Structure 1
Amino acid sequence: MRTFLTSLTTGIEAKFIKSSELEILRVLEQIRAVTKYKNRYYLNDGFVCGKLDISSNGTGFLYPYDSKFKQDLMIENRDLGGAHFGDIVLAKLTKFKKPRQKAAVVAVLLMANETSVVYTKKIGSVIMGVTIPNSITIALKASQKSLKELPLDTVLKINNLDNDIVEVLGVLSDANVDQKISMALYNKREIFPKIAINEAISFGNEVDKSMYPDRIDLTHLPFCTIDPVDAKDFDDAIYFDKNTNEIYIAIADVSEYVSPYSGIDKEARFRGFSIYFPHIAVPMLPRELSENICSLKPNCDRLAFAFKICLNSNLEAIKEELISCIIHSKRRFNYDEVDSLINGEFECQNEIKEWITPLFNITQKLKEKRLKNGFDFHTLELRMSLDENGNIKSTKFESSTPSHSLIEECMLLANKAAAKRVNKGIFRNHEPADFNKINALLDDLNLLGISVKPTSDLVSMIAQIQAKANELNIREDVDKLIIKAQKRAEYASVSRGHFGLGFELYSHFTSPIRRYSDLILHRILKAQDDAKLTNYLMLGIDELCANLNVLEREADKVAWDFMDRKFARFAAKNIDKIFKCYIYENSNQTIARLDDEIKGARIFLDNFTCDLLTPVMVKIIEVDIPTAKILGKVVEILDV
């Protein structure tokens, strides 16, 4: 959408306009905002397209897609024309008045969301809605009599077209409303359509091998799965034949059950990804599939799409065979068990133990070889535990362990092997970092005592940074800064390489239960001998990749928003208490991270600036539950 609207400022030929953009073009033609000249469409003078932001006082700010505008455009509340936060709109410039240009919304070209989330608040004698999270007060399409029957602070989902109430989600005082708010903010749903559920149930609970005579039977091989202790769905299983140096990476064959444009497929395409909360996962596929017939559960025959990769003595893949098969996982391990097994502290059946340790040794050599061109980031993942009332019980940071590394290297092998088989399809690209961001990173690191000369060889330079961070014992924190300075990995139909991993070709093949991208790749790989089917699957692939990038970011935001809400409830119970923190961000707004018994909460600090990672003691002074924002005041700067 943005590319199309931006191109209208310089002109776009009719033949390059996608079918999905024609409807927007017709709207622009009807309101005479575009002109066709020599088969090219141009946006008329006085009109501007862009994305709308709205402040808490109701004033709008338009971020134009036209590069000639060096500043956002102000839109008075009366000129918003019913547009909402995040909408892509067409606006008309109004009479210029210093100090800034103003505009008025003419049309909403693409709604950011069909619904919004509000809570009820009494203003004078009237019950109004206050939007979450940007605190804009709006009138609701409901009688005051019915609104006054609801408790104040009732959380509602409303239709953005007319502010009609769609659903009552709960009340702000109930911690169990947090998940509903986080999901509704990004238009996510937990309940599956009936058609998708019925399709999933129709596949039953068991795989009958006799029904799949064309599949290779690998049920005799001692595959196993390795996942978190609380995992419910198992995408991948592995086996290593140490006699032939062949690694088997078997992935749940979701594409066998989910056909294009079926009820399940439409819902999976809408969701894009599974969403993981501390207490529950909201799956991309119905649980009848994700936790049952598709899941590579132990002691069950299951359909799989597997790579058998043979390595030579230099750990180069000399043969990568992709096979449709049936496997029978002999054991479901969690990461802790495999860590203990690698260390010789855990006993299991001999047939698996005999190959796990040799495979681990090989994967460590593969990792060492990979890191000559890629990066190794020591990131800590925040884990939150909740009590029975939905409040924080504890938090902790988890780091990668040998078992994580073993699985990661196996999955990288399969993902890389899959990418080699596709000319155009779906790739996972990671472009090199922007040098402006790298220079800003170097400035921040210099304040931390890490001085490195800028160089065009980013791999070597980042390795130097990490080595110095190790010496100062701040590796995890510095790695976070390095990651923030890099571009985000994204999906695209053509390969542009993966900078972070150091791979020329890379895709996502190994998680079709929880990522729609992987399911699409499975279909493309299976259709490679059928040109007609391949062309069918490739219809709209660019638009699909772009949409998956949006859905991936949204899935992350939902999970982060939920955790912020839990942190806000914790902070609200600890007003005026002092906690140990460290400075996490100091650019536009200084933000501290809680680093006490409870860890990870963001605390916003006003009128304070300090170097990154500086340890501080912070008093919690105010908490806003609807926006999940915690305000604090530094009372002491600690010695490093």
Structure 2
Amino acid sequence: MKEFLRSLLNGVSQREISATNLEVLRNLVSLNAVSEHKGRFYLNNGFVCGRLDISSNGTGFLMPFDDRFKQDILIENKNLNNSHYGDIVLVKLLKTAKKRQSGKVVISLKLANETSVVYTKFFGSALLGVNIKTGLSTTLKASQKSLKQLPVGTLLKINNLNGEITQVLGNINDPLVDDKISLAIYNKSSEFSQSSELEAAAWGDEVDALMYPNRIDLQNLAFCTIDPVSAKDFDDAIYFDEKRREIYVAIADVSEYVSPYNSIDIEAKKRGFSIYFPHIAVPMLPHALSENICSLKPNVPRLVFCFKISLDDDLNVVKEELFEAIICSKRRYNYDEVDRILNDKQTDEIGWIKNLYEITKNLRKKRLLNGFDFRTNELKISLDEAVAITATTFETDTPSHQLVEDCMLLANKAAAKRIRRGVFRNHTPPDLKKIYNLLDDLALLGFDFSYQSDLANLIRKIQAKADEMGNRDEIDKLIIKSQKKAEYSSENLGHFGLGFDRYTHFTSPIRRYSDLILHRLLKAILKNDEKFYNYLLLNIEQTCASLSELEREADRVAFDFIDRKFARWASLNIGKIFNCYVSENQNILVAKLDDIFVGARIFISGYTAPLLSKIRVKITEADIASAKIFGKVVKDV
């Protein structure tokens, strides 16, 4: 929607507007905010569109989509018109003698969230709801008598359109409710509609190979899956034919079970991605599919969409074959087991893992001549039966992770070559401003580099210097912060980080809707069905934009849950001092815990320090509602 609203500044014709945005246009015309001139629609003077921010005192600030506004627009609380934090809104500018531009919200064009989460709290004798995200209090559409029957701190889900209470989630003082809070904030659900559950269950538990005579039968090949220990859904299996130097990447054939616009598909498109908490997963597909008939479990037949990738003696790809098949995985490995095999501490039961690793290790070397090897550490937390933190670790890439990654990259690249338009995974080069900011931050750490137009070469030089100084992990964090986020798009723009001209996501249709769309497109190409291919591309730009946003939301849900767990831990450790390092230092200083636990964010005011500085921090406050920890620096290290 942002791009559509931007287009109104220079005029847009009706034929260029998607069906969803046509409804928005009609609303804008009826409000006299948009006018038509010579077949094009323009935003009228005196109106501006943007995203709404709301401070803790209830004052609003519009972040305009119009670049002519160099400063945000002030919106007093009385002029918010029941709009919410993060909404995309239409604002009418107000005439004022003050220098600061102000306005009032006319209408919310797109809600940031359909629902809000509040907890009950007394203000004097009145029981109000306090918004979990903004901290703003609001009256509730229920009688004070009925509200007072509930314990103080009761968590309620509110419909943002009409203010109605739709669900009682639990109580904010109960640690067992944290996943419900994180899901509800972003209007996610762990429950599936009855119709989608019934559709999924109708496929049963077993695959009868006789029902699929046109599929290539690969059940005799020694495929295996390699996943985390806790994984329940297995998207991908691999097999290596050493004599022919052929790598098979077999992916769960979800599109065989989920047709466009059936109940499962509608819900999967709305979810976009599976969400993973440390103790549970909220899948994109019903469990009957994600953990059963689609999942490539060992020793049972499963339907797959498979790439067979042939390499020559110099490890160049010489042939990429794509076909529908049936496999029977011979072994379910976890990453730790494969690492033990590669270190000669465990037997390679299927016989080809070590040889494939040697191949992928060399493929990786070739790939990194153009791409980057960022040492990303993913935070993992362990919980006890009371869902309290017991341990934290940073999970790093091991040889087993790299083996799987390079096989999946081969398949993703091969898939991207086959589509002219569809669902690409793009990662564009970083903005010049962010690169200069990165160089400034690095200079404070003793890295003296000047800007050069060959950004890939510049980044590799910085990484080489970091290797020499022994702080590669920390420097990679700064480089990653300077990068743009990868996004989905209907058009190919390449992938800067990987160094690929074309890239897409093919390998995870159980947990990513983008991959499911791609599978359908590829099958249409295999069948030379141009009509169905074009049908699948209807509104594809809007779908890709939605997927990029849903991906960010899925990440936010998972991060919010972790923040909540850290906040509960911090509330039991007020006044204690811990080792930390500075992870952000622009608007407010943020320290990351680096002690008995790692990764918790601690917000610190009134203090400045260079990035990555080591400091000792006393925890002064933990707000469980907002999932924030506050502290003060007691010592530089």
TM-score norm. by structure 2 comes to 0.99
1:597 aligns with 2:581: no
- The aligned counterpart of 1:378 is 375
Count of paired positions: 635
Contact 1:139–1:163 under 8 Å retained in 2: no
Task: Output aligned runs, 1:399-478, within 5 Å.
Answer: 399-478=396-475
Instruction: Give 3-state SS (helix, strand or coil) of 1:560's partner.
Output: helix
Instruction: Give 3-state SS (helix, strand or coil) of 1:393's partner.
Output: strand
Instruction: Give 3-state SS (helix, strand or coil) of 2:61's partner.
Output: strand
- The aligned counterpart of 2:57 is 57
Instruction: Give 3-state SS (helix, strand or coil) of 1:61's partner.
Output: strand
Structure 2 unaligned spans of 5+: none
Structure 1 unaligned spans of 5+: none
Distance in structure 2 (CA, Å) of the matches to 1:122 and 1:504: 58
Distance in structure 1 (CA, Å) of the matches to 2:376 and 2:2: 33
Task: Output aligned runs, 1:145-156, within 5 Å.
Answer: 145-156=145-156
Instruction: Give 3-state SS (helix, strand or coil) of 1:527's partner.
Output: helix
Instruction: Give 3-state SS (helix, strand or coil) of 2:118's partner.
Output: strand
CA deviations 1:438-491 (Å, max 9, x no partner) are 111011111112222321111211111111111222111111111110011011
Distance in structure 2 (CA, Å) of the matches to 1:157 and 1:281: 21
Q: CA deviation at 1:14?
A: 2.2
Contact 2:427–2:497 under 8 Å retained in 1: yes
- The aligned counterpart of 2:566 is 567
Distance in structure 1 (CA, Å) of the matches to 2:15 and 2:289: 42
Distance in structure 2 (CA, Å) of the matches to 1:162 and 1:489: 36
Task: Output aligned runs, 1:14-53, within 5 Å.
Answer: 14-53=14-53
Task: Single out whichever of 14-23 and 376-385 deviates more from structure 2.
Answer: 14-23
Counterpart code for 1:568: A
1:89 aligns with 2:89: yes
CA deviations 1:374-422 (Å, max 9, x no partner) are 0001111111001111111110111110000000000000000000000
Instruction: Give 3-state SS (helix, strand or coil) of 2:83's partner.
Output: coil
Distance in structure 2 (CA, Å) of the matches to 1:364 and 1:348: 18
Task: Output aligned runs, 1:346-365, within 5 Å.
Answer: 346-349=346-349, 352-353=350-351, 355-365=352-362
- The aligned counterpart of 1:186 is 186
Matched residues, percent identical?
Answer: 60
Q: CA deviation at 1:53?
A: 1.1
Distance in structure 1 (CA, Å) of the matches to 2:431 and 2:86: 26
Instruction: Give 3-state SS (helix, strand or coil) of 1:600's partner.
Output: strand
- The aligned counterpart of 2:575 is 576
Q: CA deviation at 1:348?
A: 4.1
Instruction: Give 3-state SS (helix, strand or coil) of 1:48's partner.
Output: strand
Q: CA deviation at 1:97?
A: 3.0
Contact 2:18–2:539 under 8 Å retained in 1: no
Instruction: Give 3-state SS (helix, strand or coil) of 2:49's partner.
Output: strand
Q: CA deviation at 1:117?
A: 0.5
Distance in structure 1 (CA, Å) of the matches to 2:68 and 2:92: 15
Distance in structure 1 (CA, Å) of the matches to 2:472 and 2:401: 19
Distance in structure 1 (CA, Å) of the matches to 2:110 and 2:437: 35
Distance in structure 1 (CA, Å) of the matches to 2:157 and 2:397: 39
CA deviations 1:240-291 (Å, max 9, x no partner) are 0000000000000000000000111011001000001111111000111011
1:543 aligns with 2:542: yes
1:514 aligns with 2:523: no
TM-score norm. by structure 1 comes to 0.98
Task: Output aligned runs, 1:158-197, within 5 Å.
Answer: 158-197=158-197
RMSD: 0.9
Q: CA deviation at 1:15?
A: 2.1
- The aligned counterpart of 1:253 is 253
Distance in structure 1 (CA, Å) of the matches to 2:512 and 2:14: 34
Contact 1:141–1:162 under 8 Å retained in 2: no
Distance in structure 1 (CA, Å) of the matches to 2:635 and 2:99: 40
Instruction: Give 3-state SS (helix, strand or coil) of 1:618's partner.
Output: strand
Instruction: Give 3-state SS (helix, strand or coil) of 1:632's partner.
Output: strand
Distance in structure 1 (CA, Å) of the matches to 2:107 and 2:266: 29
Structure 1 consecutive aligned stretches of length 4 or more whose deviation exceeds 4 Å: none
CA deviations 1:575-634 (Å, max 9, x no partner) are 000001111111111110000011100001111011111111100011111011111111
Counterpart code for 1:376: D
Task: Single out whichever of 423-432 and 454-463 deviates more from structure 2.
Answer: 454-463
Distance in structure 1 (CA, Å) of the matches to 2:45 and 2:230: 58
Task: Output aligned runs, 1:26-425, within 5 Å.
Answer: 26-349=26-349, 352-353=350-351, 355-425=352-422
Q: CA deviation at 1:96?
A: 2.2
Distance in structure 1 (CA, Å) of the matches to 2:414 and 2:532: 22
